[in-house]
Structure 1
Amino acid sequence: MAEAHQAVGFQFTVRPDGVDFKLSQEVIKNIYLSGVTAWKKKAIQFKRCGYFESFICFYVVIDKGGVLHFLSRDSLLSYHGWIFESHGKMSTSTKVWLCLVKMFSGRRPLLYSFQASLPRLPVPSVDDTIHRYLESVRPLLDNEQYNKMELLASDFKENKAAQLQRCLILKSWWATNYVSDWWEEYIYLRGRSPIMVNSNFYIMDLLYVTPTHRQAARAGNVVHAMLQYRRKLERGELAPLRALGTVPMCSTQMERMFNTTRIPGIETDFVQHLTDRKHLVVFHKGRFFQVWLYTGGRHLLPSELETQFQRILNDTSEPQPGELKLAALTAGYRYIQTKNTLKKQVISLDAIESAAFFLTLDDEPQGYDPAKTNSLDSYAKSLLHGKCYDRWFDKSFTLISYPNGKMGVNVEHSWADAPIVGHMWEYILATDCFHLGYTEEGHCKGDVNKNLPHPTRLQWQIPNECQNVIETSYLSAKQIADDVDFHGYLFAEFGKGLIKKCRTSPDAFIQLALQLAQFRDQHVFCLTYESSMTRMFRDGRTETVRSCTSEAVAFVRAMEDAGATNAQRLALFRKAAEKHQNMYRLAMTGSGIDRHLFCLYIVSKYLGVDSPFLTKVLSEPWKLSTSQTPQQQLNLVDINKFPKYVCGGGGFGPVADDGYGVSYIIVGENLITFHISSKFSSPDTDSYRFGQHIQKAMLDIQALFKPENDKTAQNAKYVHLENGKKHI
């Protein structure tokens, strides 16, 4: 979600000195280590889950001529032709392929059953990548600027690209994924700026339903559901992640969901993942408590967890000196020097960093309330940054519990992307509401065990100089948080159902609406980032879809041209939507632009090769960063039968100082939620204003699909958005 901020703002800090031979040794060494890491992962997975790369797994198939062929499962899953076919028009070859995939998937495959058979992410050709790149920037540059960019690209392709490309191909042969380890290290872990707002993202609770208004009870059920999920995850008992319910996707990111912390370092952080952790750390009113999650060899029951959390809520002790804002260290600039001064607190600090996850029992109610203006905005900002000292931003995720029973999650981004956490969150909400449940009084079901040992206060002796650093970190984090201009609203005029009747992709529809809204807001077009996934490949993460295309620009200009007819606009819309869909498909199947260029840039730095073209590409600002949060990955709840049990989605902070971050979630057939962020300090942006532009753009595009004599769209009264005007 928030990766675009790091993608344009990272600094390459590993550039070895010396002659070319030594530089070449350095890149070969790095590629070698990438492969070693990948093979270590395989060994660990085999030890834990009992699967490993199978070189002899194959199937016999017969072609039309009656010739026998050996088809490995790897090659079977390498077929991506289905994704380029029109919806509802599946070819015979794709039907046969789907039958083979289903046939050899087994009746009840485990989470990691397909992991060893997923194909490797292919390295695109330099010619294709540069061609697509130049095509993507053409609508954003004038003729002189574009000609200069063409010259830079041509010089790079002729003089430097071949050497860099060979290194990437070598890495793709040796490592399981030529992008992911460098992406994690250089985009996330080497960043020295605050991860609060700039990198971490959030996910909301159910919009319309609060199962219980008792804070301790809700936390008890949710934590218990998380422990159930963790156990299934560790045993590989969850169903494999699949596209279309059939095509396997990579599950590697899920391995580090629990027992994981981002540990600060001098030049780079690292992700510490431990085996089964048996405790949780809870923050409440400036105090840290350790809560054991097991008793007698089993998980604590929801009622037992409720008892423990209620004991913490009832505790009236005061924070120790320096304890109140200690977590602000994780909100500000990376804090390795300060952490070194806390070595005497190794037991307490280790308790936090080794915990299964971090829980905050907040003391201010939040949540969406239609009767309260700005309630969604306040809720989102609380999840995104809170008070800047009441979330441990370095934990894989911080679970946040509010006094009115609402919940939410703040997620550290380096270890995984939003769909992975969304998968877990869907399981939690469904288990909480439909399996565990509550008593009539709102308590967790089950007997209350009052003999459990009380939660333990973590002890701190924080030196004065460290307290000063904590305060400095807090003030810098607060400045960032106060600058976040957030607006969230629920678009209920229509949803996926109507868009599909228009015979177009819902994602393309929304992306073109965002382009129209952006132009109306800023009066110029800008480089636009949409996150796509590459998890059909082993260890895949994301790729960028550059949504501001020449076709999209032509459509937007027609919408703003009073002389254009609706028929002309609709034709341009369909052309732009098809272009967007094709780009999305290319990104998903390993033929994107930005990850390839990013890795070429990394190799160039290792080799000491200066490339004005790559430097220019990697420094381009993404003034509009967008992401769709997936919904109904598990299909545990029928939202047609239970329309109130829908999640509000999630969002992230502003990517550029003078740009917008937009996350959207398509909820069922009739609702789309938008999460918009920008900065108050920018005189050019206003999140509420941009939300109005999005709403009008959505309705204006919808009107194109109506008969000309239907004046409904022209006379429609826009629903009142739930935010006030921008205040600085």
Structure 2
Amino acid sequence: LADWWINAAYLDCRGPVVVWSSPGLVFPLQEFKTLDDQLNFAAKVIAGTLDYKIMVDEKTVPVERMGKDVLDMSQYFKVLGTCRIPGVTRDTLQFYGQSSDPPKHIVVAHNNHFFKIDVYGKGGKPLSVRQLIQQLRNVVERSTHPTHPIGILTTQNRNVWGKAYKQLRKDKVNRASIEEIHRCIFLVALDGPVVNPTGNEMNDAALNCVHGNGPQGYAGNRWYDKTIQFIVGKKGAVGLTYEHTPAEGPPIANLMDHIMNYINTGKGEEGTEGKENRPPVEELSRPHRLIFNISPTIKQDIEDAKVALESLVSDLEMTCFKFSGFGKSFIKSQKLSPDSFIQMAIQLAFYRIHGEPGAHYESASTRKFIYGRTETIRSCSMQSVAFAQTMLDKEQSAAAKVKSLREAVEAHKNYAKDAVNGLGVDRHLLGLKLSAIEAGMDVPSLFMDVGYLRSSHMRLSTSQVPARCEAFMCFGPLVPDGYGCCYNPRDTEIFFGTSAFNSSPETDSATFRQSLEQSLMDMHNALVQDSLKAKL
């Protein structure tokens, strides 16, 4: 199923990866006053990632567990040095980091220029933060004016980009430049100030991570096929965008946690790092500019990509926020599963707005199995609908609301348990469908059934991506009239990244936020009232 899933969920999909597939991950917000601040932080992000890469290369990344069960760790070895390659009908995935000649360089983008930087000294040691700052400054000094936004081609529909890619590669200079980008360990985009600020720093950072604010922003300063692409803004908006094919969110969030811990504990500071085998700054080979020859055809492809992306960017709205009412500590104190509790809050929020339940996708990890990826937790259930109706009925007592809440949480928890143990239905049905197609059979009628189609039109696309720091992941909705909702539950707060499309008159992410916050507080208050009555 692993190969089928990668093809069906990602490589066969012909829509753009931007908005429709690639999530953004917003790091804790920083405050940069000068260019030096920006470059210093970017250098530490690079150094922290290279420090993490040592664990990957030496296979010493701590093995994760779910209860007593160890989890498959293969995704951790597939994110650095990886790139998606466009095709006219199906894309491919290349794992350069696992080759016999793994890459030793990164690529830095600034003002749409791309530069190759070797990040290891002659003795094989990673460059120091001081050396990396020097290299980044060299990049900035040599790219003061924007050039053709060649990277914006990677935002296109995959068939369109696949054809343009073939044209681009016909020129041997372009081919060499593309190879360096494909092979690099990861990419770093140095951005200017926020474009089209919304007045909310979290929203601004999220939108920049998801789509770079389009052709007027920094979308040309990206290569969206690259698995890991860090973004460091001029004023302190920091994060990454990641191409989803090789991995789920948790390995990416763990990488970010490692980087932030590396920075916050001062590991990259001068004096704490060994200087042996590190060439002096003046001996470093300067960053190599990657040249692109832009033909009239490619120039037109760039213009077409701008138009297509502008449409996507103007349609996506995001509302990202920190919910400070309580966190997972309170939920656990009530002997409830934090994830199931938040999922029921999302169900209640949807029901409050729309007056009906919505088909609801939550990704469950199947990493108990080799090469496991995800299974669908269908969070909408008979119990969740009854719970939403009970909560919205003013005649119901706190005790009745709590009883309904506990039943809904228990139903979700049981479904989640089945899903992580390989007993879900969605991947099984996918396997049957693809088996039929491979065997040349007609697709079974079940897959055309109105009930099946309606229950698979996931108006709620949700995911829990926990992180140790104040960060959150965000992505676009799965369907035109749906919502995206990703969350990071912490002890006393919950970070949310929510999204909707402006083109849908039915959905609005700001309204969804209000409903979600009200749902969380209503659930909290019902539990508190019920426990007070029990004590009396």
Separation in structure 1 between the aligned mates of residue 530 and residue 407 of structure 2, nearest angstrom: 21
1:355 aligns with 2:184: yes
TM-score (norm 1): 0.67
**2:85/2:94 contact within 8 Å kept:** yes
Identity %: 29
Q: Which amino acid aligns with 1:236?
A: K
Q: Which amino acid aligns with 2:471?
A: G
Q: How many residue pairs get matched?
A: 509
Give 2:148's match in structure 1, choosing from 324, 337, 348. Answer: 324
The alpha-carbon distance between structure 1 residues 577 and 209, as it changes in their structure 2 partners (threshold 3 A), is farther
SS of match in other structure, 2:529? coil
Give 1:229's match in structure 2, choosing from 52, 65, 83. Answer: 52
Unaligned stretches of 5+ residues in structure 1: 1-178, 633-645, 712-728
**2:47/2:268 contact within 8 Å kept:** no
CA deviations 1:634-670 (Å, max 9, x no partner) are: xxxxxxxxxxxx2321111121111101001102x10
**1:533/1:542 contact within 8 Å kept:** yes
Give 1:308's match in structure 2, choosing from 115, 127, 135. Answer: 135
Separation in structure 2 between the aligned mates of residue 433 and residue 664 of structure 1, nearest angstrom: 23
Give 1:251's match in structure 2, choosing from 68, 73, 76. Answer: 73
TM-score (norm 2): 0.90
The alpha-carbon distance between structure 1 residues 287 and 543, as it changes in their structure 2 partners (threshold 3 A), is same
The alpha-carbon distance between structure 1 residues 216 and 210, as it changes in their structure 2 partners (threshold 3 A), is closer
Look up the match of 1:279: 105
C-alpha displacement of 1:524: 1.3
The alpha-carbon distance between structure 1 residues 709 and 597, as it changes in their structure 2 partners (threshold 3 A), is closer
Separation in structure 1 between the aligned mates of residue 221 and residue 352 of structure 2, nearest angstrom: 38
Give 2:442's match in structure 1, choosing from 609, 618, 630. Answer: 609
Look up the match of 1:625: 461
The 5 Å alignment of 1:26-41 reads none
Query: What is the CA RMSD across the aligned residues, in angstroms?
Result: 2.4
Look up the match of 1:587: 419
Q: Which amino acid aligns with 1:361?
A: L
The alpha-carbon distance between structure 1 residues 316 and 412, as it changes in their structure 2 partners (threshold 3 A), is closer
The alpha-carbon distance between structure 1 residues 596 and 210, as it changes in their structure 2 partners (threshold 3 A), is farther
Look up the match of 2:14: 192
Look up the match of 1:420: 251
Look up the match of 1:364: 193
Separation in structure 1 between the aligned mates of residue 49 and residue 402 of structure 2, nearest angstrom: 47
**1:348/1:460 contact within 8 Å kept:** yes
1:402 aligns with 2:233: yes
C-alpha displacement of 1:710: 7.0
The 5 Å alignment of 1:32-431 reads 179-207=1-29, 214-244=37-67, 246-274=68-96, 275=99, 276-297=102-123, 298-316=125-143, 318-319=145-146, 323-334=147-158, 335-343=161-169, 344=171, 345-364=174-193, 373-386=199-212, 387=214, 388-431=219-262
The alpha-carbon distance between structure 1 residues 355 and 439, as it changes in their structure 2 partners (threshold 3 A), is closer
The alpha-carbon distance between structure 1 residues 618 and 709, as it changes in their structure 2 partners (threshold 3 A), is closer
**2:113/2:143 contact within 8 Å kept:** no
**1:659/1:678 contact within 8 Å kept:** yes
Separation in structure 2 between the aligned mates of residue 350 and residue 269 of structure 1, nearest angstrom: 16
Separation in structure 1 between the aligned mates of residue 320 and residue 3 of structure 2, nearest angstrom: 34
The 5 Å alignment of 1:397-476 reads 397-438=228-269, 449-476=281-308
Give 1:660's match in structure 2, choosing from 473, 483, 487. Answer: 483
Give 2:524's match in structure 1, choosing from 692, 698, 702. Answer: 702
C-alpha displacement of 1:627: 0.6
Unaligned stretches of 5+ residues in structure 2: none
Look up the match of 1:638: none
SS of match in other structure, 1:677? strand
The alpha-carbon distance between structure 1 residues 486 and 445, as it changes in their structure 2 partners (threshold 3 A), is farther
Look up the match of 2:335: 503
CA deviations 1:39-64 (Å, max 9, x no partner) are: xxxxxxxxxxxxxxxxxxxxxxxxxx
C-alpha displacement of 1:621: 0.8
Q: Which amino acid aligns with 1:630?
A: P
Separation in structure 1 between the aligned mates of residue 288 and residue 30 of structure 2, nearest angstrom: 35
**2:128/2:268 contact within 8 Å kept:** no
Q: Which amino acid aligns with 1:603?
A: S
The alpha-carbon distance between structure 1 residues 444 and 497, as it changes in their structure 2 partners (threshold 3 A), is same
CA deviations 1:185-220 (Å, max 9, x no partner) are: 111001111010100001111247889971111111
C-alpha displacement of 1:631: 2.5
**2:130/2:270 contact within 8 Å kept:** no
- Structure 1 window deviating more from structure 2 (674-683 vs 395-404): it is 395-404
The alpha-carbon distance between structure 1 residues 210 and 287, as it changes in their structure 2 partners (threshold 3 A), is closer
SS of match in other structure, 1:678? strand
Give 1:529's match in structure 2, choosing from 361, 377, 385. Answer: 361
Q: Which amino acid aligns with 2:256?
A: W
CA deviations 1:698-723 (Å, max 9, x no partner) are: 01011111236979xxxxxxxxxxxx
The alpha-carbon distance between structure 1 residues 473 and 566, as it changes in their structure 2 partners (threshold 3 A), is same
Separation in structure 2 between the aligned mates of residue 707 and residue 292 of structure 1, nearest angstrom: 61
SS of match in other structure, 1:294? coil
Q: Which amino acid aligns with 1:522?
A: H
Q: Which amino acid aligns with 1:626?
A: T
The alpha-carbon distance between structure 1 residues 316 and 512, as it changes in their structure 2 partners (threshold 3 A), is closer
Q: Which amino acid aligns with 2:497?
A: H
Larger radius of gyration: 1
The 5 Å alignment of 1:646-685 reads 646-667=469-490, 669-685=491-507
Separation in structure 2 between the aligned mates of residue 269 and residue 647 of structure 1, nearest angstrom: 34
C-alpha displacement of 1:365: 5.0
**1:287/1:318 contact within 8 Å kept:** no
Separation in structure 1 between the aligned mates of residue 139 and residue 30 of structure 2, nearest angstrom: 28
Separation in structure 2 between the aligned mates of residue 209 and residue 346 of structure 1, nearest angstrom: 38
C-alpha displacement of 1:562: 2.3
SS of match in other structure, 2:265? helix
